Amino acid sequence: MSSFINTLKRHPKTNITMIIIGIVVYTMLKMEWDVRAIAIITLIIGYVTNVFIGLTAVVGALPLVGPMIVKIFTIPLFWLLNLSGYFTSAVAIKKGYGKEIMTHRLITLVLLSGLILGYILGHLIPVR
């Protein structure tokens, strides 16, 4: 439990950003905005501020269940990226784009390889 509290203390900007995003979302819900608009605004703000990385670090610091939760959310990301490549390849095959399929699959493979390599290097090379 102390590692979780230490993680919270080490990331004050992330904590403040998450609190501000929470207040903004609560305010938009009280003003009865469209839920889809709230989701898009939240995703954009979270992407620009990199709060999702901080949220992952905070959740990963939870004892016992934190690392499992992070793995549960990150592994399907790889599946979805690969699945999107297969679907777009199937559509392109039907339309007769052979060369474009090869380019697209290569880009998908490089992206997945880069994500996996970045994950491994992130754990091998300490930041601090």
Q: Are residues 47 and 72 in the same domain?
A: no
- Side-chain half-sphere of 46: how many Cα atoms within 13 Å? 17
- Summarised one tens digit per residue, pLDDT across range 96-121 is 877 777 777 788 778 878 877 887 77
- CB distance 9 to 57 below 8 Å: no
Q: Are residues 38 and 77 in the same domain?
A: no
Last residue of a domain, one of 10, 43, 63: 63
DSSP assignment of 93-123 equals: HHHT-HHHHHHHHHHHHHHHHHHHHHHHHHH
28 pLDDT more than 90: yes
Last residue of a domain, one of 43, 63, 83: 63
Q: Are residues 58 and 78 in the same domain?
A: no
- Residues with Cβ < 8 Å from 21, sequence gap 6 or more? 42, 45, 46, 49, 51
Q: Are residues 76 and 123 in the same domain?
A: yes
The predicted pLDDT at position 50 comes to 82
Q: Which domain holds residue 9?
A: 1-63
In the chain, how many domains are there? 2
The predicted pLDDT at position 1 comes to 62
- Summarised one tens digit per residue, pLDDT across range 37-95 is 898 898 888 888 888 888 888 888 887 788 888 877 777 777 777 777 778 777 777 88
pTM (predicted TM-score)? 0.51
Q: Are residues 49 and 77 in the same domain?
A: no
30 pLDDT more than 90: yes
Position 83: which residue type?
L
- CB distance 28 to 41 below 8 Å: yes
29 pLDDT more than 90: yes
Decide: helix, strand or coil at residue 65. coil
- Summarised one tens digit per residue, pLDDT across range 4-27 is 778 778 878 888 888 998 999 999
